[in-house]
Amino acid sequence: MKLLIPGPVTTQAAVRAALAVDLAPWDPDTLPLYTGLGTRLRAIAGGRDGTHVTLALPGCGHFVIEAAIRSLLPPGGKLLIPMSGAYGERMEHLARAAGRVPVVLPIPADAPADAAAVAAVLRADPAISHVGLVYSETGTGVVHDPLAIGAAVRACGRRLILDAVSAFGALPLDMEAQPELDAVLFTANKCLEGVPGAAFVVARAERLEAGAGRAESWSFDLADVLAHARRGGTGLARFTPPIQVLNALSVALDLFDAEGGQPARLARYQANLRVLSAGMRGLGLSLCLPEAAQGPIVLNVHAPADPAWDLQAFVAALKRRGFLVSNFYNTPRPSFRIGCIGALTPEDMRAAVAAIGATLDALGIRERAPG
Ligand SMILES: *Cc1c(COP(=O)(O)O)cnc(C)c1O
């Protein structure tokens, strides 16, 4: 089965095999792997030794987004969120539940957030300390521009938190060139092509230290994770880390390096997207986004108008042909969603297009323009 979804992604056999090993994180034989991960991930973020630290939390991406919001904003602090889609909404929900005040900037669902609009809101409200941006909005497929938004945030003297969960490893990052960027958040199981179970932040250490004590949660207090990681000498996590997941990520990073790092990964995903986009159009389907706004992570395809269309039946029938796509949609209008990421190649995508075509034929979906 190939997972054509934006996480958890299809993984290579060597990555899954690394889960089958019993390890103790503090064992001197394991420690280099454990501490080395922080350094490797910081390098992918474009962070700098002495300025930026990598910390790990067990669990999913939402955990580390909540942790960053709690650890960087004071209780009652204001977070401006360009409302990009489903994951912008998740950030809003997490901020509100944590007792911070989300300020939502409505933006079009089919275009990147506008830096001038962000700057205008910041200038009008000096109480907003941070902007929370979703780098790749996995709901719509739009990629936003952290350099442009960051420049506006910096010019206004504020700080940036970047949800890079579906971007990290594929889209470029240069934390050293973005001093306004407090934290980049991601997990093991999207573009890094590891398995789920570990979430990470690369953060400016001084910003976490300055916020020590504000998290109102021990589990999600990144300043405490940092202090503990430094005391323990591992530099990465607190308590029992998901060590098998980290071991698998270490193998995934070896494969990432062998492929040629972030530029090569991006190139493969872009090639996957090209095959998929052309293939969907060739089948008579239409794409949700204009080409200029379409990022390389996830492709949303309009649900066909044919009365025989049923998303669950389509997903189940396609699964029988070896490909799993999402059985829900996050777009304003009904769509189906195909991930371009994971250990998949353009060749896999050609096979997926053929399987989707055969599935539509078998289900008798003839009217394929949007409903
Ligand atoms: C997947 C994703 C998340 C959440 O990650 P979970 O591991 O599902 O909690 C957050 N933001 C973005 C942009 C994502 O793609």
pLDDT tens across 185-214, in order?
Answer: 999 999 999 999 999 999 999 999 999 999
37 lies in some domain: yes
CA of 282 to the centre of ligand 1 (A): 31
**Is there a contact between 66 and 205 (Cβ–Cβ < 8 Å)?**
no
In this structure, are 275 and 251 located in the same domain? no
CA of 86 to the centre of ligand 1 (A): 10
In this structure, are 248 and 307 located in the same domain? no
7 lies in some domain: no
In this structure, are 147 and 187 located in the same domain? yes
**Nearest atom (ligand 1) to Cα of 136:** 13
Prediction pTM value: 0.97
What average pLDDT does the chain have? 96
**Is there a contact between 169 and 44 (Cβ–Cβ < 8 Å)?**
yes
Distance of alpha carbon 261 from alpha carbon 240, whole angstroms: 29
Provide residues with CB under 6 Å of ligand 1: 6-7, 60-62, 87, 134, 138, 163, 165-166, 187
163 lies in some domain: yes
In this structure, are 266 and 242 located in the same domain? no
Instruction: Quote the pLDDT of residue 237.
Output: 86
Confidence of residue 239 (pLDDT cuts 50, 70, 90): confident
For ligand 1, atom 12, name the residue with the nearest CA.
165
**Is there a contact between 284 and 357 (Cβ–Cβ < 8 Å)?**
no
Instruction: Quote the pLDDT of residue 314.
Output: 98
Identify the domain boundary among 232, 257, 282. 257
345 lies in some domain: yes
274 lies in some domain: yes
In this structure, are 225 and 272 located in the same domain? no
303 lies in some domain: yes
**Nearest atom (ligand 1) to Cα of 187:** 7
In this structure, are 333 and 273 located in the same domain? yes
In angstroms, the Cα distances linking 279 to 239, 286, 371 are 47, 10, 19
**Is there a contact between 287 and 327 (Cβ–Cβ < 8 Å)?**
no
**Nearest atom (ligand 1) to Cα of 60:** 7
Percent of all residues in the chain with a pLDDT value above 70, rounded to a whole number: 100
Distance from first CA to last CA of the chain, Å, rounded?
Answer: 29
Q: What is the pLDDT of residues 54-80, one digit of tens each?
A: 999 999 999 999 999 999 999 999 999
Q: What is the pLDDT of residues 278-293, one digit of tens each?
A: 999 999 999 999 999 9
Question: For position 289, which CATH number holds?
Answer: 3.90.1150.10
Identify the domain boundary among 211, 227, 257. 257
**Nearest atom (ligand 1) to Cα of 135:** 13
**Nearest atom (ligand 1) to Cα of 63:** 9
Show the domain range for 72.
13-257
In this structure, are 191 and 285 located in the same domain? no
In this structure, are 51 and 142 located in the same domain? yes
369 lies in some domain: no
In this structure, are 45 and 180 located in the same domain? yes
**Nearest atom (ligand 1) to Cα of 190:** 1
**Nearest atom (ligand 1) to Cα of 199:** 7
Check pLDDT > 90 for residue 252. Answer: yes
Q: Burial-class residue 160 by CB neighbours within 10 Å (0-12, 13-18, 19+).
A: buried
Check pLDDT > 80 for residue 235. Answer: no
CA of 341 to the centre of ligand 1 (A): 14
Q: What is the pLDDT of residues 311-343, one digit of tens each?
A: 999 999 999 999 999 999 999 899 999 999 999
Q: Choose which residue among 187, 189, 191, 297 to substitute to test ligand 1 binding: the one with the highest number of ligand atoms within 8 A of its C-beta.
A: 187
CA of 6 to the centre of ligand 1 (A): 9
6 lies in some domain: no
Q: Choose which residue among 87, 191, 330, 337 to substitute to test ligand 1 binding: the one with the highest number of ligand atoms within 8 A of its C-beta.
A: 87
Bridge partners, residue 294, by sequence: 142
Instruction: Quote the pLDDT of residue 58.
Output: 95
In this structure, are 141 and 31 located in the same domain? yes
In this structure, are 78 and 117 located in the same domain? yes
Distance of alpha carbon 57 from alpha carbon 222, whole angstroms: 9
Distance of alpha carbon 358 from alpha carbon 196, whole angstroms: 31
Question: For position 181, which CATH number holds?
Answer: 3.40.640.10
Q: What is the pLDDT of residues 152-193, one digit of tens each?
A: 999 999 999 999 999 999 999 999 999 999 999 999 999 999
Identify the domain boundary among 227, 257, 287. 257
CA of 214 to the centre of ligand 1 (A): 24
Domain tally for the chain? 2
CA of 365 to the centre of ligand 1 (A): 32
Q: Choose which residue among 163, 186, 195, 328 to substitute to test ligand 1 binding: the one with the highest number of ligand atoms within 8 A of its C-beta.
A: 163
Mean pLDDT on 47-54? 97
In this structure, are 234 and 312 located in the same domain? no
